[in-house]
DNA sequence: GGAACTCGCCAC
DNA sequence: AAACGTGGCGAGTTCC
């Protein structure tokens, strides 16, 4: 189903394969001794936690039910224990509806004391077995050589395997530190990450051309996430520096704006905003509940503003959603409908980068795939240009990886300024010149590690 | 004993 | 009217 409709698109993938191949051959340095040490350390920690839990009621019942075949990693066994033997009503079923769900969110809701310890064990095993173990297994002479593929995804994005280098933990501080501590630059070098800011939203703007969204991309004083936080949480005024408002802005961004762009709707958003971000329970809507605000709790704040129940909050989010699309981004809204109709008529969708999406698609897929793919192609084009220039000019610095909208460079310190300036120029200036359909300014953000320091030490660097 | 599947979780 | 996009991978499980 892959189809390039222009020579340029065809060449982008072919050059991309070569550049990604070079980065893979180059490889990324791993502290193998650390991986082994840390794995052993985590194993001891996991054993201790399991030993502590082994006297608990939960584990006793578990062993009684399964005897010699007891396996504390088994979701099937846990679901059987909780939902069949203990008779707990499952808050949620798995997607195939074969059994009650045992994912983190569901288990946490049950209010069983041992469950938190069990979840902690699972988290440590994930770090040990998915990341440290994979680094140690895949490394050759202290370097991993991940494969970047350009032929595997329906969107024409990339995928990476052996090991996957696109999902190393970053949001969870503890997991981030443990995993990224294993990743190093070459001796005497330093790791630098350059990522396109808001590239998917910017590329979407080039498709729908909504003037309000384009303004948002051009004017740094505009902040839709802050605006939405104000509307969703009924704030009179909002201050970006206030830590509570920062939390609420983040909630609006992750719990409303992004899901809306991916095609979600108010019922899910309301649930996520209240439970995950506001700390409120869905059923009860009592005073003194949820996030602590300067003048009381979030639940009190809503009640004071006339929202007295979860049902009323959901209705509020519905109105915010309606306004979001009908008043803020009506052109974007209309584009989605036209784009969907175009697909239904023609059976395929042409991307701005010269690729054609075909096959059977649902509405959200038809809208998201071309945007996602084109956004990645901005990165791919830049990656190729930087790679080819680095060869031509014989840099000591090299591209070693990419993560959808970011590149990872292994930089020779004396080339630091030149490398960053050059890469930034290619990413933000050369690309829009090559692709005139890009009608919003592009920006990059840099994260930099010290010389001979691991990836866990990266810090934001002002490109000026 | 391997292939294919489910479930869960990490990233963007 | 319907309702979150894209991946890789580990462990468990089931099937052949």
Domain contains A363: no
Residue A216: CB less than 7 A from any atom in strand B: no
Residue recorded with tokens 């288990």: A107
Q: Tell me what pLDDT residue A231 has.
A: 96
Q: Are residues A258 and A401 in the same domain?
A: no
Query: What is the distance between the alpha carbons of residues A435 and A14, in angstroms, rounded to a whole number?
Result: 18
How buried is residue A271: exposed, middle or buried, by Cβ count under 10 Å (0-12/13-18/19+)? Answer: middle
Query: Chunked in runs of 10, what are the mean pLDDT values of chain A (464 residues)?
Result: 86 96 96 95 94 92 91 93 92 88 91 91 94 93 94 92 94 95 97 97 97 96 95 88 89 94 94 88 85 87 93 96 97 96 95 93 94 96 97 97 96 98 97 97 97 97 91
Domain that holds residue A159: 12-27+145-201+371-461
The per-residue DSSP string of A227-259 comes to: HHHHHHTT-SS--TTSHHHHHHHHHHIIIIIHH
Q: What is the 3-state secondary structure (H, E, C) of A360-399?
A: CCCHHHHHHHHHHHHHHHHHHHHHHHHHHHHHHCCCCCEE
A174 shares its domain with A320: no
Under DSSP, the state recorded for A405 is: S
What local confidence, expressed as pLDDT, does residue A202 receive? 97
pLDDT of residue A1: 56
A348, part of any domain: no
Total domains in the fold of chain A: 3
Residue A123 CB in 7 A reach of strand B: yes
Residues A18, A63: one domain? Answer: no
Q: Which nucleotides of C are covered by protein (CB under 7 A)?
A: 1-14
Statement: the CB of A404 is under 7 Å from strand B? yes
Distance from residue A338's CA to nucleotide C2's C1', rounded to whole Å: 17
Measured to protein CB atoms, the chain B nucleotides within 7 Å are: 6-12
Residue A361, in any domain of the structure: no
**CB proximity A406–strand B (7 Å threshold):** yes
- Confidence at residue A348, expressed as pLDDT on a 0 to 100 scale: 93
Any domain includes A398: yes
**Which burial class, exposed, middle or buried, applies to A403 when counting CB atoms under 10 A from its CB (0-12, 13-18, 19+)?**
middle
> What sign results for the dihedral spanned by CA atoms A427, A432, A433, A435?
positive
pLDDT at residue A387, rounded to an integer: 97
**Could you tell me the distance in Å between the CA of residue A132 and the C1' of nucleotide C9?**
13
> What pLDDT is recorded for position A47?
93
CA of A73 to C1' of C11 (A): 7
């Amino acid at each position: 189903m892959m189809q390039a409709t222009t020579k340029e698109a065809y060449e982008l993938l072919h050059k991309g394969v070569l550049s990604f191949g070079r980065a893979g051959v180059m490889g990324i340095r791993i502290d193998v001794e650390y991986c082994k040490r840390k794995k052993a350390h985590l194993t001891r920690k996991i054993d201790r936690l399991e030993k502590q839990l082994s006297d608990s009621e939960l584990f006793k019942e578990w062993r009684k039910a399964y005897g010699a075949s007891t396996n504390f990693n088994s979701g099937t066994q846990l679901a059987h224990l909780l939902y069949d033997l203990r008779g707990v009503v499952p808050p949620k079923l798995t997607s195939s509806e074969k059994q009650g769900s045992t994912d983190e969110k569901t288990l946490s809701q049950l209010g069983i004391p041992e469950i938190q310890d069990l979840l902690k064990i699972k988290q440590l095993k994930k770090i040990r077995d998915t990341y440290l173990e994979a680094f140690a297994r895949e490394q050759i002479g202290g370097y991993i050589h991940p494969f970047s593929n350009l032929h595997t995804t329906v969107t024409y994005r990339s995928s990476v395997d052996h090991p996957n280098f696109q999902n190393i933990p970053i949001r969870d501080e503890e997991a981030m530190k443990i995993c990224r501590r294993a990743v190093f630059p070459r001796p005497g070098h330093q790791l630098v990450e350059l990522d396109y800011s808001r590239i998917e939203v910017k590329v979407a703007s080039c498709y729908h051309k909504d003037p309000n969204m384009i303004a948002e991309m051009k004017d740094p004083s505009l902040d839709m996430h802050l605006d939405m936080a104000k509307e969703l949480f009924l704030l009179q005024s909002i201050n970006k520096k206030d830590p509570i408002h920062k939390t609420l802005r983040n909630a609006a961004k992750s719990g409303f704006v992004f899901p809306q762009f991916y095609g979600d709707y108010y019922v899910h958003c309301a649930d996520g905003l209240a439970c995950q971000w506001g700390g409120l329970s869905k059923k009860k809507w009592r005073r003194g509940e949820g996030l602590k605000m300067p003048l009381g709790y979030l639940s009190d704040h809503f009640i004071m503003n006339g929202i007295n129940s979860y049902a009323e909050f959901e209705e509020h989010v519905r109105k915010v959603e309606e306004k979001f699309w009908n008043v803020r981004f009506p052109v974007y809204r209309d584009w989605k409908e036209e784009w969907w109709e175009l697909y239904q008529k023609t059976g395929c969708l042409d991307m701005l980068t010269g690729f054609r999406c075909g096959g059977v698609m649902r509405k959200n897929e038809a809208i998201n795939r071309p945007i996602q793919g084109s956004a990645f192609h901005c990165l791919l084009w830049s990656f190729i240009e930087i790679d080819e220039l680095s060869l031509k000019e014989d840099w000591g610095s090299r591209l070693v990886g990419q993560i959808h909208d970011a590149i990872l460079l292994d930089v020779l310190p004396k080339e630091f300024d030149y490398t960053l300036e050059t890469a930034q120029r290619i990413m933000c200036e050369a690309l829009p010149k090559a692709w005139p359909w890009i009608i919003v300014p592009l920006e990059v953000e840099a994260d930099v590690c010290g010389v001979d320091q691991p990836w866990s030490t990266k810090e934001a660097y002002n490109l000026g």
